């Protein structure tokens, strides 16, 4: 009897091809659309209906059972509320990481297992082996940065076949070859759950921001911003401070609602070599030798698609081989040992 796998189908080409490939490999495949977010933002329409229809069309094409899991309440509480509170505290969170931790690889997995699934599958660009997380074959599309808070137990019950493809073009080619209706669909942009809407427009629906002053590296007031909550460290665009060299955000004071900027790219406020982490998560805690880890040369990624930087870790402190610019509190530092993802933590 073949194993039953519930495939999280988002309506995109990656998860569509995932379902098709697993069907070909002999699995008993059930397509599942996770209904996480349906609200429109003024000027922006949430694409969930279109995504749902695309996922359903693909399931019909493949001749597989198709279901909807409604996670909207949990999603609002565990992902959206978390994101808003982090921004209010002056940090820059990553909702995709929280979505994977709380929804896709916890709530979806648990619900699937309760409904007679043996495994789940997603369209992520990553690879799993024996409960370990490994980098995708396509390094440019690799999504392991967003997956470092998933547990080894969840990974041992997860299939990610897209991680074996060498490019997005190859994925589209294989989808087209199979006649999948999503083969030519564009990748989604913007916040993970709201489509093309920007973070500023989204936060404005939930937070009453007030204008404040912008102060440069000399302590001089040079302009006004729309709310410190909307700015991130290293940000260059959207400051509307005219004339001369570009300005970069160096820090924020949420209590006084002040944004500090500099025109000096070598300003020490912009660069860090030592990073303190909190809420550390190890994917394979049973096999992670912490004493050995502190003596090893590891690599860290400090933002999605950011460079891999040599580092060492000890007592929640990451020491980088080279200074890095614009490291933001609330973002994640993800640790790699070769192609294996060890885990990581939240930057403070």
233 neighbors 92 (Cβ within 8 angstroms)? yes
Residue 317: the pLDDT is 96
Rounded Cα gap, residues 39 and 92, in angstroms: 22
Return the CA Rg of the chain.
Answer: 21
Q: What is the pairing mode between strands 258-262 and 212-215?
A: parallel
For the segment 168-210, what is each residue's pLDDT rounded down to a tens digit? 999 999 999 999 999 999 987 656 555 567 788 899 999 999 9
At 269, the pLDDT band (50, 70, 90 cuts) reads: very high
Tokens in use for 323? 């200074």
Residue range 4-177 forms a domain whose CATH class is: alpha beta
For the segment 122-177, what is each residue's pLDDT rounded down to a tens digit? 999 999 999 999 999 999 999 999 999 999 999 999 999 999 999 999 999 999 99
Residue 33: the pLDDT is 98
Query: Would the pLDDT of 106 be above 80?
Result: yes
For the segment 31-87, what is each residue's pLDDT rounded down to a tens digit? 999 999 998 888 788 889 999 999 999 999 999 999 999 999 999 999 999 999 999
15 neighbors 174 (Cβ within 8 angstroms)? no
Residues 322-341, mean pLDDT to the nearest whole number: 96
Residue 90: the pLDDT is 95
pTM, entire model: 0.94
Three-class SS state of 343: strand
Q: What is the DSSP string of 28-59?
A: EEEEEEEE-----BTTB--THHHHHHHHHHHH
Higher model confidence: residue 239 or residue 108?
A: 108
Q: Enter the DSSP assignment of 102.
A: I
Q: Would you please indicate which residues are annotated as catalytic (active-site) residues? A: 99, 192
For the segment 279-320, what is each residue's pLDDT rounded down to a tens digit? 999 999 987 777 778 888 999 999 999 999 999 999 899 999
The full set of domain ranges for the chain reads 4-177, 208-262, 271-347
Residue 194: the pLDDT is 54
CATH topology of domain 208-262: SH3 type barrels. (2.30.30)
Higher model confidence: residue 43 or residue 221?
A: 221
Helix-strand-coil percent breakdown of the chain, rounded to 5?
Answer: 30, 30, 45
CATH superfamily, with its number, for domain 271-347: Translation factors (2.40.30.10)
For helices 13-24 and 48-62, the axis angle rounded to 10 degrees is 20
57 neighbors 180 (Cβ within 8 angstroms)? no
């Amino acid at each position: 009897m073949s194993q039953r796998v519930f495939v999280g189908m988002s309506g995109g080409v990656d998860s569509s091809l995932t379902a098709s490939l697993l069907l070909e490999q002999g699995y008993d495949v059930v397509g599942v659309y996770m209904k996480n977010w349906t609200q429109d933002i003024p000027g922006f329409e949430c694409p969930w209906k279109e995504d749902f229809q695309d996922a359903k069309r693909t399931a019909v094409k493949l001749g597989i059972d198709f279901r909807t899991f409604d996670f909207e309440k949990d999603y609002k509480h565990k992902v959206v509320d978390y994101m808003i509170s982090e921004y209010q505290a002056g940090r820059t969170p990553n909702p995709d990481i929280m979505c994977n931790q709380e929804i896709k690889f916890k709530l979806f997995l648990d619900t699937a297992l309760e409904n007679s699934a043996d495994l789940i599958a997603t369209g992520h660009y990553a690879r799993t082996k024996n409960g370990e997380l490994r980098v995708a074959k396509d390094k440019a599309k690799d999504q392991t940065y967003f997956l470092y808070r998933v547990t080894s137990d969840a990974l041992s019950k997860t299939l990610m076949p897209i991680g074996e493809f060498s490019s997005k073009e190859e994925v589209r080619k294989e989808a087209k070859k199979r006649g999948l209706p999503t083969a030519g669909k564009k990748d989604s942009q913007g916040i993970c759950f709201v489509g093309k809407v920007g973070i500023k427009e989204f936060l404005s629906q939930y937070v009453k921001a007030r204008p404040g002053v912008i102060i440069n590296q000399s302590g001089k007031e040079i302009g006004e911003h729309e709310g410190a909550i909307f700015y991130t460290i290293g940000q260059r665009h959207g400051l509307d401070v005219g004339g001369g060299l570009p300005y970069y955000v160096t820090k924020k004071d949420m209590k006084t609602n002040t944004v500090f900027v500099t025109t000096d790219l070598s300003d020490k406020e912009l660069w860090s070599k030592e990073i303190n982490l909190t809420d550390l998560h190890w994917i394979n805690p049973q096999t992670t030798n912490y004493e050995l880890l502190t003596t090893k040369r590891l690599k860290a990624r400090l933002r999605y698609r950011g460079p891999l930087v040599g580092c060492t870790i000890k007592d929640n402190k990451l020491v980088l081989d080279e200074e890095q610019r614009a490291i933001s509190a609330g973002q994640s530092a993800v640790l790699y040992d070769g192609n294996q993802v060890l885990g990581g933590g939240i930057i403070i």
